Amino acid sequence: MFKHIAPYAGDPILTLNESFGRDPRAHKINLSIGIYFDDAGRLPVMAAVREAETAMLQNIAARPYQPMEGAANYRAAAQHLLFGAQHEAVTSGRIATVQTIGGSGALKVGGDFLQRFFPASQVWVSDPTWDNHRAMFEGAGFAVQTYPYYDAATGGLKFSEMLAAFGALPEQSIVLLHACCHNPTGVDLSAAQWAELIPVIRARRLIPYVDIAYQGFGDGIDEDACALRALADAGITFFCASSFSKSFSLYGERCGALSVVCPDAAQAELVLGQLRATVRKNYSSPPTHGGQIVARVLQTPALRAQWAAELGAMRQRIHTMRSRLHAVLSAKLPGRNVDHFLTQRGMFSYTGLTPAQADRLREAHAVYVLRSGRMCVAGLNSSNVEATAVAMAAVLAAQA
């Protein structure tokens, strides 16, 4: 019955991460998947999360189905973290937010909603983007195109080409944007560049779809949300998929949110209704536990402060790893500019390694980066950063 089914070729991120798990070499280094590891190479349980969960376990609550849109306290907490509790869009009730199964669930619920109400639109993603963006929007029934973004020659942004491309898009094109810590390149727009892009988005009547999966890993919790707030300030109607997987180190709990910033509260109510219907048709309602951990941390001032401090330390540790990687690479590769490792932001850097070089790094040195050349800087630590830099320098020099 199933003989005609093609074997699954695997996923460029998840399948490589699985291969890492099976690699018997003791000195192997995992810089493939976007997961933050601590300086001992462990996946952290944040103290604020542990404390909130411990308190929850003292008084185990009954578990009815959640509403289709998720828990009210979680939805409010997510909205406040993204936009600020006092933002006019929040206080005027013009943001429709639903709790979703991770940031991925948010992207898919929003994709299905858009396909239903804007079926003639196409989706435009940055070149390159997170591999799953294309798969998800194609899966929702859209044609997916790319706009210019990463400049391999400088390790920076092709901003003028990007701006020109946006200016030529058909009305109501859906433009997928990364709020901060661009995946896979680590290259973000500056606040000044957002200020130039937003009027083009408005003039062309585009539909921005902003993915924010790394809030707090770039420059700070509020700083990393500045693009969202600027879009809301400008009165743009847009979609935002957010995730707590990384910022709470709660990957397996699948905590995300989809927020649609609407022109007014009445439209937000209509949108919320259809988002509820979309969820009902997919998986009915989201799970309880992880969302309640997040809500408790964000709504308990002492826990929230502790969480922000822990996230700040994670961000700092990534900056330190960037400096140490840069120091070894610039010493070992004189004449080659490796400054992009310092300027790129968040968990990822684009190394400039070709697929063949990434294979060589993995096969000869047991250092795992994606075949696109993306490395997860958050997988580096005091014990492996030197070895990684030396191996990378060797591979880069061999084929230079």
Among 115, 243, 249, 259, binds ligand KET (CB under 6 A): 243
| Catalytic residue check, 246 | yes
| Catalytic residue check, 151 | no
| Catalytic residue check, 211 | yes
Evaluate whether 30 touches 13 at the Cβ level (below 8 Å): no
Of residues 251 through 270, those in contact with ligand KET by CB under 6 A are 256
- Closest contact distance (angstroms) between CB of 266 and ligand KET is 30
The tokens describing 322, both together, are 């960037």
Token pair 């997860």 is found at 376
In 10 A of CB 364, how many CB atoms?
12
Q: State which residue has the least CB distance to ligand KET.
A: 102
- Closest contact distance (angstroms) between CB of 243 and ligand KET is 3
Among 30, 121, 215, 245, binds ligand KET (CB under 6 A): 245
**At 195, is the secondary structure helix, strand, or coil?**
helix
Among 33, 231, 236, 391, binds ligand KET (CB under 6 A): 33
Which of 250, 178, 190 lies closest to 215, judged by CA?
A: 178
Of 104 and 388, CB closest to ligand KET: 104
Among 103, 186, 286, 373, binds ligand KET (CB under 6 A): 103
Burial class (CB in 10 A: 0-12, 13-18, 19+), 192: exposed
126-to-29, 112, 242 alpha-carbon distances in Å: 28, 20, 18
Distance CA 151, CA 153 (A): 5
Helix axes 289-299, 47-58, angle to 10 degrees: 110
Q: Binding residues for ligand KET, how many (CB under 6 A)?
A: 14
Binding mask 123-142 for ligand KET (x = CB under 6 A): -------x-x----------
- Catalytically annotated residue among 112, 188, 211, 224: 211
Catalytic machinery residues: 130, 211, 246
Per CB under 6 A, residues contacting ligand KET are 13, 33-34, 102-104, 130, 132, 183, 211, 213, 243, 245, 256
